[in-house]
A and B are shown apart, each in its own frame.
Chain A
Amino acid sequence: MLRASTEVSGADFDLNAVTGAATGDGGIEGGTLLHAFAEAITLRDAARTAELRGALVEALGEPAMIDAAATAAAFHGFVRLADATGTPPEGAAGGQVTMEFRDSLGINDFYGARNA
């Protein structure tokens, strides 16, 4: 989905950022802050989350911070739903997730891919 949205927008974003293998905002407004906010929420780092809430409100506005938090929370559900049911990745994101693409991002090295 991120790849498709960057293609539509024309942004030059390095998708390796989502696995932590690249840094920078890659042309996404507030990308560095959003990346760090998602990470702090997932790692349950309350102090860092609080710091980034303030930074996001300042940079992008309060509604943007709320929607970033809402998205991060939603994916705490989506990942569990997919993992618990063995939902096959083929067909995800409209069928754009090829084995080569997954390999390029290191997804095939995840535990679930190696032990499928």
Chain B
Amino acid sequence: MSGIGYEGPYRVRETLVEAHRIAWRRIAEPGAWLDGARRVAVAAEVRAAEDCALCRERKEALSPFAVKGEHEATDLLSAAEVELVHRLTTDPGRLRRAWTEGILAAGVSEEVYVEIVSIVCVTMVIDTFRRSLDLAPFDLPAPVPGAPSGYRAPGARRHDAWISLVQPEDVVESDGDLYGPTASPVVKALSLVPQAKRDYWDLAEVHYLPGSEMTNFATGVRAIDRMQIELVAGRVSALHQCVY
């Protein structure tokens, strides 16, 4: 298919359609640490991971880190970056701190790591939504020329996560709009690279709930109520073996 739209038998709410248009355009544009071509290459590897024999073997193994083999570098991504994309796409519930440290030791900076995670998550959300409606995935966008901004949040520090993040009290003006009145751990996860954080959350809040509704357990902003939303969320999380 070409273009970003919602053909087919179901009427998709316009806020979702617009969020997908923006997210897909953002993937093609220069980010903070990756240019457009490398960002699109990450999205392409998310899809390639589905047919990766090594990923399949690891996924089926009782001990995924015991399976020998390495992913190969591509023209635009290093072998460690491909490993990050593939394993995060295919087996996220069995990642370990040592694995993340290995990716960083192989030369992937924390900033690049965070930006890649953001792109993987955006791609997974949109591709999964379209698959759930039996729609073909969007064509990958054409990269937009330009240089990355190189922005790292100056207040970012290592706390109790595996990657540096910004606590609300360490936000500075140049970070832009980063947090609302509250910031749960998962909201802070990508804050090292504020644009990567916004790219993911701008999409996720349209899919799930706006930040202002997160603690409103009687919210009526969606066509299903909060219990129904959380039932779906809980089942997906449990099937992924997500401990968060």
Using CB atoms and an 8 Å cutoff, list the residues of chain A in contact with chain B.
1-2, 4-9, 11, 13, 15, 17-20, 28-31, 34-35, 37-39, 41-44, 46, 49-50, 53, 60-94, 102, 107-108, 110-113, 115-116
Asked if B93 contacts A110 (CB within 8 A), the reply is yes
Within the complex, the shortest CB–CB distance from A40 to chain B, in Å, comes to: 8
Supply 13 A–B pairs (Cβ within 8 Å), ascending by A. Answer: A1-B226, A5-B229, A18-B238, A31-B228, A43-B239, A46-B131, A67-B222, A69-B132, A74-B207, A80-B89, A80-B117, A83-B240, A89-B244
Please give, as numbers and ranges, the residues of chain B lying within 8 Å of A89 by CB-CB distance.
185, 243-244
Using CB atoms and an 8 Å cutoff, list the residues of chain B in contact with chain A.
10-13, 16, 84, 88-89, 92-97, 100, 113-114, 117-118, 120-122, 124-126, 128-129, 131-134, 160-163, 165, 184-186, 188-190, 200, 203-204, 206-208, 215, 217-218, 222-244
A-B contact count (CB 8 A): 277
CA distance A81 to B98 in the complex (A): 17
Known: A2-B230, A84-B92, A88-B160. A73 touches B126 (CB 8 A): yes
Q: A7-B217, A49-B134 are in contact. List 7 more A-B contacts (CB 8 A).
A: A9-B217, A42-B236, A62-B10, A63-B13, A73-B132, A84-B95, A87-B244
Asked if A77 contacts B232 (CB within 8 A), the reply is no
CA distance A7 to B218 in the complex (A): 10
* Of A5, A63, A107, the contact of B243 (CB 8 Å cutoff): A107
Asked if B228 contacts A85 (CB within 8 A), the reply is no
Smallest CB-CB separation from A42: which chain B residue? Answer: B239
Known: A34-B224, A83-B242. A1 touches B236 (CB 8 A): no
Within the complex, the shortest CB–CB distance from A78 to chain B, in Å, comes to: 7
Asked if A113 contacts B243 (CB within 8 A), the reply is yes
Known: A80-B120, A84-B88, A84-B117. A66 touches B10 (CB 8 A): yes
Within the complex, the shortest CB–CB distance from A62 to chain B, in Å, comes to: 6
Asked if A5 contacts B226 (CB within 8 A), the reply is yes
* Of A28, A79, A102, the contact of B93 (CB 8 Å cutoff): A79
Closest 5 CB pairs of A and B: A86-B162, A18-B234, A2-B230, A63-B223, A74-B207
Within the complex, the shortest CB–CB distance from B230 to chain A, in Å, comes to: 4
Known: A9-B218, A86-B100. A78 touches B88 (CB 8 A): no
Known: A37-B232, A76-B236, A107-B243. A66 touches B223 (CB 8 A): yes
CA distance A90 to B186 in the complex (A): 10
Q: Which of B12, B96, B165, B243 has the most CB of A within 10 A?
A: B243
Please give, as numbers and ranges, the residues of chain B lying within 8 Å of A115 by CB-CB distance.
94, 96
Asked if B132 contacts A72 (CB within 8 A), the reply is yes
Asked if A111 contacts B237 (CB within 8 A), the reply is no
Asked if A18 contacts B231 (CB within 8 A), the reply is yes
Asked if A116 contacts B235 (CB within 8 A), the reply is no
Asked if B242 contacts A79 (CB within 8 A), the reply is yes
Please give, as numbers and ranges, the residues of chain A lying within 8 Å of B131 by CB-CB distance.
41, 44, 46, 49
CA distance A91 to B168 in the complex (A): 14
Smallest CB-CB separation from B239: which chain A residue? Answer: A42
Asked if A72 contacts B117 (CB within 8 A), the reply is no
Smallest CB-CB separation from A49: which chain B residue? Answer: B132
Asked if A82 contacts B236 (CB within 8 A), the reply is no
